């Protein structure tokens, strides 16, 4: 009886005696060649990595937008509270300064190069996956630009 543990140990299809006895010898198929399989795996790994870079680029922009919106909101809240509740205003200011300390990290990481790319997200603090247009195609040029912008941001 064939066990799963045995199956996962096989590296090449030629090791499967079961597959040799079919009408058509599948060992002759292009996908049975280990070099072709490895090249195919590498290609799809690169494609997935490019998609991930594109998605991370979007997420980075969202985080930057959130940081900006929160800073603006906290400053407005502090200004309003100074008149009615100075002690609460002081606590909000302490919170804002604490947040700002960590928010500066994105600049230290070189992500400020993406700051100009957030213009179309400005003021939109409630971005969700539903906001993306359905069927939006990412062109190869866009993928390449995303990769280059990330690489530029981290090369400093």
Among residues of the chain, what percentage have pLDDT more than 70?
49
| Domain total of the chain | 1
Distance CA 7, CA 3 (A): 6
Distance CA 116, CA 61 (A): 9
134: in domain: no
Domain enclosing residue 38, as ranges: 13-119
More confident residue, 11 or 85: 85
8: in domain: no
Q: Compute φ and ψ for 113, nearest 5 degrees.
A: -65, -25
| pLDDT tens readout for residues 116-148 | 554 444 444 444 444 444 445 557 776 666 556
Where helices occur in the chain by DSSP H, the ranges are 4-9, 17-20, 34-84, 86-103, 105-108, 140-155
31: in domain: yes
98: in domain: yes
């Amino acid at each position: 009886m064939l066990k799963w543990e045995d199956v996962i140990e096989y590296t090449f299809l030629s090791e499967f005696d079961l597959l040799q006895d079919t009408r058509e010898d599948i060992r002759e198929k292009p996908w049975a060649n280990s070099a072709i399989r490895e090249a195919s795996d590498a290609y799809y790994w690169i494609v997935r990595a490019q998609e991930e870079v594109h998605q991370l680029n979007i997420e980075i922009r969202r985080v930057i937008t959130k940081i900006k919106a929160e800073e603006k909101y906290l400053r407005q809240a502090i200004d309003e509270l100074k008149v009615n509740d100075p002690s609460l205003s002081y606590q909000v200011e302490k919170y804002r300064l604490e947040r700002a300390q960590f928010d500066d990290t994105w600049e230290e990481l070189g992500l400020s190069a993406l700051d100009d790319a957030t213009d179309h997200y400005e003021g939109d603090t409630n971005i969700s996956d539903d906001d993306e247009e359905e069927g939006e195609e990412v062109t190869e040029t866009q993928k390449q630009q995303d990769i280059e912008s990330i690489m530029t941001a981290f090369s400093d």
